[in-house]
Chain A
């Protein structure tokens, strides 16, 4: 993992530090969810800032921080080819299948 992400360090002489994306685990066994961003100079700073900004009300039991520049995101123009083909694969869903009436606890 890179400690110091490149870029996003401001356009002038002043720096507000690079941007990091913050993911929190809200409860035991729950998946991590994106909750926002923080600026930080390095990984430890990002972790502390994420804790201070996004876990002030006991919202988290775990935190991930990731340099924003390390995120690879799908593009809106890919949405058609990426996601529409999944729309008609109804056989992937359990409700597609019939089971004999009266059968319990399948």
Chain B
């Protein structure tokens, strides 16, 4: 009995770290655009989306911290873990690139996240269901925003089309990781905490194919997929991101802000 509880605690903790870290790291990358966007209106739009993700991350990490029960806070998890302890997808930690790369990444992630959050509304874990009920509304807007930009860039000029197609080509090998089954995913699905990630693939494909068609973007072939983020095997980019993100907090351990 005790062993069983420990397992479900670990599953909830791990699953919430995944939810939280994806959104923390992606929100952080998006926030890098603040003050540097292509036009004032879009600067504001990207900040709104970043704020939604940071809010979702904060919520998920609170649930993770509570599940862990070790007296750590969401901030402790965000600012005092090492890179190898982060559980985010590799796709969210890649540098922000140009606007086409940012939009393509947002779109590929949004199309995944919106269906995930939709399913998580029925999570057996009430704190996750609560998080998802709020997040799914935000995500519906995110995918509307990024899909619209996919079409604008794909259909716009030769330059924008080339940049977008290149971005999609570069990002494609990072998309498979979203739907990978592993023991945490299986356990979360078995416990009714979350849908099995693989069940989201069909819905994601439908959105992606529709938008690619409207944006005149060629879907790259499924060749090699990168993986590792869920178990802490990250790209080299994450360490630099965290060095920046954690510097102030880590310089003053235990301080209030």
User: What is the interface of chain B, defined by CB distance below 8 A to chain A?
Assistant: 39-42, 44-45, 48, 141, 144-145, 148, 152
Interface string of A19-61 (1 = CB under 8 A from B): 0000000000000000000111100110011011100100000
Specify the chain A residue showing the minimal Cβ separation from B141.
A51
What are 26 contact pairs spanning A and B, CB under 8 A?
A16-B39, A17-B41, A38-B41, A39-B39, A39-B40, A39-B41, A40-B41, A41-B152, A45-B41, A45-B148, A45-B152, A48-B45, A48-B144, A48-B145, A48-B148, A49-B41, A49-B42, A51-B141, A52-B41, A52-B44, A52-B45, A52-B48, A53-B41, A53-B44, A56-B44, A56-B48
Seed contacts A45-B41, A48-B144, A51-B141; 17 additional CB < 8 Å A-B pairs? A16-B39, A17-B39, A38-B41, A39-B39, A39-B40, A39-B41, A40-B41, A41-B152, A44-B148, A45-B152, A48-B45, A48-B148, A49-B42, A49-B44, A49-B45, A53-B44, A56-B44
Size bracket, chain A contacts = 10 to 19
Interface residues of A (CB under 8 A from B): 16-17, 38-41, 44-45, 48-49, 51-53, 56
Task: Summarize B's interface: helix, strand, loop or mixed.
Answer: helix
Q: How far is the CB of A87 from chain B (nearest CB, A)?
A: 42
**C-alpha gap A17/B42 in the complex (Å):** 12
A residues in contact with B144, CB < 8 Å: 48
Query: Count the A-B residue pairs with Cβ separation under 8 angstroms: how many?
Result: 30
Specify which chain A residues have a CB less than 8 angstroms from the CB of B148 in the assembled complex.
44-45, 48
Q: Which residue of B lies closest to A53 (CB)?
A: B44
Residues of chain A lying within 8 A (CB to CB) of residue B145: 48
**Which residues of chain B come closer than 8 Å to A41, judged between CB atoms?**
152
Q: Closest approach, in angstroms, between the C-beta of A65 and any C-beta of chain B?
A: 12
Cβ–Cβ < 8 Å partners of A16 in chain B: 39
Chain B nearest CB, measured from A19 CB (Å): 11
The distance from the CB of A37 to the nearest CB of chain B, in whole angstroms, is 10
**Residue in B39, B41, B42, B148 with the greatest tally of chain A CB atoms within 10 Å:** B41
**Bound form: Cα–Cα A40–B145 in Å:** 13
Measured between beta carbons, the chain A residues less than 8 angstroms from B42 are 49
A39 vs B43: C-alpha distance in the bound complex, in angstroms? 12
CB neighbours of A17 from chain B (8 A): 39, 41
CA A53 to CA B44, docked complex, whole Å: 7
- In the complex, the chain A residue whose C-beta lies closest to that of B156 is A41
* Bound CA–CA A81/B106 (angstroms): 55
Measured between beta carbons, the chain A residues less than 8 angstroms from B141 are 51
B222–chain A nearest beta-carbon distance, Å:
31
Inter-chain contacts of B40 with A (CB < 8 A): 39
B248 to chain A, nearest CB (A): 26
CB distance from A43 to the nearest CB of B (A): 11
Determine how close the nearest CB of chain A comes to the CB of B99; give it in whole angstroms.
Answer: 14
CA distance A56 to B46 in the complex (A): 12
